[in-house]
A and B are shown apart, each in its own frame.
Chain A
Amino acid sequence: MPTFVYMTRCDGCGWCVDICPSDIMHIDTTTRRAYNLEPSMCWECYSCVKACPHNAIDARGYADFAPLGHSVRVDRDEEKGVIAWRIKFRNGKQDMNLLAPITTKPWGKHIPKLADAPAPSQDMRDSQLLFNEPKYIRLDDGDIHTLESNGLTMKAGVYY
């Protein structure tokens, strides 16, 4: 679902140009508004859609995602730490709002200070385990956590 820009909403601030990992969001030399210069090279990461402060960028959904002519829009709220999606079908009858957390802790406050960690011993270097294993895969808790060990079961299909 490559992205596109609504020219009347864009104010040419350059957030999308800065954030695009594919370097395809650029500023038009005639109107000084952003545009996706090569939609076929779009990774569809939606970084630009989420970063745009004016919600001026939208995704053009494929037909297997929703019938053509639909609108798929996103609003990322940094301060609330959530992202909201809305998919509206062409006839307006199917209108879905979705909300999901994007962080569980305040931004930038809990970045691990890896430089302060002690250097690995020779035993650790010779071991097959990676940094912080088994702690990070929680083997020291008994074993790897699974659905069964957590009392959960896999449900078929998509559910909310």
Chain B
Amino acid sequence: MITYNPFSELTAVIPVYAMQAYVVLMALMVVGGTLLDVIHKKSAQYFFENSEKAKKSAKRTVGGGEKASIALQTIANEVLTSGEFSDQRRRMSHLFTMYGFILFVVTTAVMIFAYPTSATPAPVIIPVLWHLGALMLCFGGYWFWFFIRVDVSAEGHPWYRLAQADIFIVSLLATATFALIWSLLQSLGASGLSMLFFVLFIVSSTTLFSTVLWSKFAHMFFKPAAAYQKRMTKADGSQENLPDLPELTDPAVKERYPDIPEYMGDNPPNMGLGINREAPHHY
């Protein structure tokens, strides 16, 4: 099953140009939805005004080279490895879902545009990566859905309670799940059932890509911008108006805040994780 290109069989029913047009249409919907989202939420305006505000309280100017280095750090830490998550389970789940989605989408496009028919068979690695991507997406996504999602873990709601914020994750999981079931049934030769799951796959993927304005799909574009801005505020000293956290052993700090040496001693030890010792599951 996993070495099998499910789209090549489909050309008997759906012409290649229709499949390719669908992929292009979905890509355009993502671009259009993101632009509408930016206009509707005024997020670009917000980030611009926020950076102007930060510049006013900046203690130093950040040069071009340093900005490039901060951008690279943001890509390496926040974008590629989801480093902004303080909960490591959530970070792992996000990494599985993100890389699964990227693999799934890229290999789908490759199979539809480069190897659309059985006359042009795809190298084995492409369908393997397509199935692996869908499986990774399902693993990370269902882990998030049943156990990590804040509605379940902190709010104490049951996993089946749906809200508008779930459009993205539900349509994403439905897309990957129906794609896997469709591929399995097709490889088993159950053509009627496989067609049913193909229709469900298309309905869920259309929902995923056409609801960008109402879902949190666009977070993959504005979250890196927010992470970059956060790093910039640390570099220029404005630090979002957050207070300084100085070294407690610094004599100037001891003089300025005499409570520190009086109650904590001259060389305060590492006090440990505090409230971070427990996960926030006390509802």
| Stretch touching chain A among B6-14, B20-28, B240-248 | B240-248
Q: Is A30 an interface residue (CB 8 A)?
A: yes
Q: Is A84 an interface residue (CB 8 A)?
A: yes
| B86 & A14 in contact (Cβ 8 Å cutoff) | no
Cα(A81)–Cα(B271), bound, Å:
6
| Stretch touching chain B among A92-100, A113-121, A144-152 | A92-100
| A100 & B257 in contact (Cβ 8 Å cutoff) | yes
Q: Which residues on the A side are within 8 Å of B68 (C-beta)? A: none
Q: Mark B203-243, 1 if CB is under 8 A from A, else 0.
A: 00000000000001000001000100010000000001111
Q: Is A79 an interface residue (CB 8 A)?
A: yes
Q: Which of B243, B246, B273, B280 contacts A107 (CB 8 A)?
A: B273
With known contacts A79-B270, A88-B241, A104–B46 Cβ distance under 8 A: no
- Chain B residue with Cβ nearest A14: B154
Distance to closest chain A CB from B248 (angstroms): 6
Query: Chain A's interface: helix, strand, loop or mixed, by majority?
Result: loop
| B280 & A17 in contact (Cβ 8 Å cutoff) | yes
Cα(A128)–Cα(B165), bound, Å:
58
Q: Is A60 an interface residue (CB 8 A)?
A: no
Q: Which residues on the B side are within 8 Å of A85 (C-beta)? A: 243
| B155 & A27 in contact (Cβ 8 Å cutoff) | yes
Interface residues of A, count at CB 8 A: 48
Q: Is A101 an interface residue (CB 8 A)?
A: yes
| Stretch touching chain A among B98-106, B126-134, B259-267 | B259-267
- Chain B residue with Cβ nearest A85: B243
Q: Which residues on the A side are within 8 Å of B256 (C-beta)? A: 99
Distance to closest chain A CB from B164 (angstroms): 5
Q: Which residues on the A side are within 8 Å of B56 (C-beta)? A: 92
Q: Mark A68-108, 1 if CB is under 8 A from B, else 0.
A: 00010111011111101110100010000111110111111
Q: Which residues on the A side are within 8 Å of B52 (C-beta)? A: none
Q: Is B191 an interface residue (CB 8 A)?
A: no
Q: Is B146 an interface residue (CB 8 A)?
A: no
Q: Which of A11, A15, A84 contacts B244 (CB 8 A)?
A: A84
With known contacts A17-B280, A18-B282, A101–B259 Cβ distance under 8 A: yes
Distance to closest chain A CB from B214 (angstroms): 8
Distance to closest chain B CB from A6 (angstroms): 9
Q: Is A45 an interface residue (CB 8 A)?
A: no
Q: Is B87 an interface residue (CB 8 A)?
A: yes
| B272 & A29 in contact (Cβ 8 Å cutoff) | no
Q: Mark B64-96, 1 if CB is under 8 A from A, else 0.
A: 000000000000000000001111001000000
Q: Which residues on the A side are within 8 Å of B226 (C-beta)? A: 8-9
| B273 & A71 in contact (Cβ 8 Å cutoff) | no
| B264 & A101 in contact (Cβ 8 Å cutoff) | yes
| A92 & B280 in contact (Cβ 8 Å cutoff) | no
Q: Is B253 an interface residue (CB 8 A)?
A: yes
| B277 & A80 in contact (Cβ 8 Å cutoff) | no
Q: Is A53 an interface residue (CB 8 A)?
A: yes
Q: Is A51 an interface residue (CB 8 A)?
A: yes
Q: Which residues on the B side are within 8 Å of A139 (C-beta)? A: none
Q: Is A133 an interface residue (CB 8 A)?
A: no
Since A30-B164, A79-B270 are in contact, a sample of 20 more A-B pairs with Cβ atoms closer than 8 Å, ordered by chain A residue number, is A8-B222, A13-B280, A15-B280, A27-B151, A32-B163, A32-B216, A71-B241, A78-B271, A84-B244, A85-B243, A86-B243, A86-B244, A92-B56, A99-B243, A99-B245, A100-B257, A101-B263, A105-B271, A106-B270, A108-B272
20 A-B contacts, Cβ less than 8 Å apart?
A: A9-B240, A13-B154, A14-B280, A17-B280, A19-B275, A19-B282, A27-B151, A29-B164, A55-B240, A73-B241, A78-B276, A79-B272, A81-B268, A82-B264, A92-B56, A99-B246, A99-B260, A101-B263, A104-B263, A108-B277
Going nearest first, the 5 A-B pairs with the smallest beta carbon separation are A14-B154, A78-B274, A18-B280, A86-B243, A29-B163
